[in-house]
Amino acid sequence: MISEPIMLEPIGVIRTEFHTSSGLPIQASMSDAEGIVELYPSFVEGLATLEQFSHVILIYWFHRARPVDLTVVPYMDTQPHGVFATRSPSRPNSIGLSTVELLEIDGPLVRFRGADMLDGTPLLDIKPFVPEFDNREGSSSGWLTEYLHKTPRKFSDDRFEA
């Protein structure tokens, strides 16, 4: 067990049209909203050749999530589940990730489609999405399976916001 805290420093901030969690798309794949990553100047060099990828994974901090609940009722169900069986933002470590479509890179600005995060969200990392690495044949979706083919609820309420 690690005895010392882990320190993370944001590398930028995510800008979106969403200022409260009520009405926020619940997953990037359910969102057509565009957003912009404003990368801090000292990290811009790290964007070299990223424009060759169609999608990227944004890793960020749920900065307005309420304190952790180990059992939650997620947006797409009415039954409680363990937090690790959900994508709830109220987690022991409030880390979020979204696979988004990369639209344009202009200096420190990265424009993307699939915004499902609040405006002002601290960005921790960007990784390229690689289908050969990130997709898994034969994978299952657990309790979500029965909901994925119904009309899913596409927008959140404020149940997880502090």
Structural domain boundaries enclosing 97: 12-130+139-148
CATH code assigned at 49 = 2.40.30.70
Whether 86 is covered by a domain: the verdict is yes
Q: What's the domain count of the chain?
A: 1
In a domain, 85, yes or no: yes
Q: Which residue has the higher pLDDT, 86 or 159?
A: 86
Whole-structure pTM value: 0.85
Q: Give the start-end residues of each E strand in 9-94.
A: 12-15, 34-39, 55-61, 71-72, 81-82
Query: What digits encode the pLDDT tens for the residues 90-141?
Result: 888 999 999 999 999 999 999 999 999 999 999 999 999 998 888 778 777 6
Mean pLDDT, range 53-63, rounded to an integer? 95
**pLDDT on residue 117:** 95
Indicate whether 159 belongs to any domain.
no
